[in-house]
Chains A and B, each alone.
Chain A
C-alpha cells in the first residue's frame, strides 16, 4: 500500500507515512519485536542483525546492518517513550561495535492507528543536522562505494551481480 515521504528542510524533519492492509497488533509487533525487525529493517542486500533488544522505556536496540561481504555498521536506538499499540519514541544514533554512540543523533516519533482494517504508521524523524542523512544513506549501503555511483539502482544492480559471482 502507499507510502508518503516528505522532507521539510526548514524544520529538518523527515516524515514517512505508510499504510498496511493488516491489523494494528500485527504491524505493531513487526516494529517492536526483534525477530520480525531483523526480517525487514535492512534494505536488501543488507541484513539486519540485532544483538540486544529490550523494548521498554529506557531500553534499547543495538543492531548491525551487515553487507553481503560481511561488513558491519552498528546502530543504537534508545526507547524514550512507549504507549502500547499507539506510539513510541526513540533516539537513534550510529555506534561503534562496543555500543558507544556517535553523536549527533535523531529523534524518532512513531504513531500507529487503525481504521477499517488498514493500519497507518507515521514516522517523523527530526535530525539536528540533516547531514546525518548522508550518513544514514551510507549506512544503508556498502560504505565507500556510494560516491562513485549515481544512484541506488546502479548500486543494487552492482551488489546483486557481486553476490551472484561469489
Chain B
C-alpha cells in the first residue's frame, strides 16, 4: 500500500520529528528524549515517515541516524502550487466571462 504523504505530515508528533531532523540527523533514542512518549512510538512514526520516503536512514556503527528528505517535502508544496495555479487560471477565465456577459447586457 502506498502511504499517504499528507497523512504523514498530518500527525503532530511526526511534524515535530520532521522539524527536529530537518536540522540534523538523529537517532530514535535522541528523538525520543524530545517527546513524552516511548521509543517504540517514535520508531513507529519513523517507520511511517520512511515508507513515505520523507526520511532516509544512515547506519553509523550500531546506531541508525534519520535525516529528512528535503526534496520530498518540496514535492508537497509543488503539488499545492499547481493546485493554486489551476484556481488562478479558472478565475481569470471567470473574470473574462463576467466582463463578457456584462458587455452583452449593456449592448441589449
Contact B80 A30 (CB under 8 A): no
Contact B98 A27 (CB under 8 A): yes
Q: Determine the chain B residues whose CB is within 8 A of the CB of A40 once the complex forms.
A: 90, 93-94, 96-97
Contact B88 A3 (CB under 8 A): yes
Q: A40-B93, A44-B89, A151-B82 are in contact. Are A129 and B98 (CB under 8 A)?
A: no
Query: Is A134 on the interface with B (CB-CB < 8 A)?
Result: yes
Contact A43 B82 (CB under 8 A): no
Contact A12 B98 (CB under 8 A): no
| CA gap between A151 and B77 in the complex, in Å | 12
In the assembled complex, the CB of A121 is this many whole angstroms from the nearest CB of chain B, namely 9
Give the total number of A-B pairs whose CB atoms are below 8 A apart: 81
Query: Is B35 on the interface with A (CB-CB < 8 A)?
Result: no
Q: Determine the chain B residues whose CB is within 8 A of the CB of A134 once the complex forms.
A: 79
Q: Determine the chain B residues whose CB is within 8 A of the CB of A3 once the complex forms.
A: 87-88, 91
Q: A7-B80, A137-B79, A137-B82 are in contact. Are A18 and B91 (CB under 8 A)?
A: yes
Q: A129-B4, A140-B86 are in contact. Are A26 and B79 (CB under 8 A)?
A: no
| CA gap between A20 and B85 in the complex, in Å | 18
Q: Which of B4, B7, B9, B94 contacts A30 (CB 8 A)?
A: B94
Q: Determine the chain A residues whose CB is within 8 A of the CB of B83 once the complex forms.
A: 14, 133, 136-137, 140
Q: A1-B95, A30-B98, A36-B97 are in contact. Are A43 and B6 (CB under 8 A)?
A: no
Q: Determine the chain A residues whose CB is within 8 A of the CB of B22 once the complex forms.
A: none
Q: Determine the chain A residues whose CB is within 8 A of the CB of B4 once the complex forms.
A: 129-131
Q: Determine the chain B residues whose CB is within 8 A of the CB of A7 once the complex forms.
A: 80
Q: Determine the chain B residues whose CB is within 8 A of the CB of A20 once the complex forms.
A: 94-95, 98
Q: Determine the chain A residues whose CB is within 8 A of the CB of B99 once the complex forms.
A: 22
Q: Determine the chain A residues whose CB is within 8 A of the CB of B89 once the complex forms.
A: 43-44
| CA gap between A165 and B83 in the complex, in Å | 27
| CA gap between A106 and B83 in the complex, in Å | 15
Q: List 11 A-B contacts (CB under 8 A).
A: A3-B87, A22-B98, A27-B98, A30-B98, A36-B101, A41-B90, A43-B93, A129-B6, A133-B6, A134-B79, A137-B83
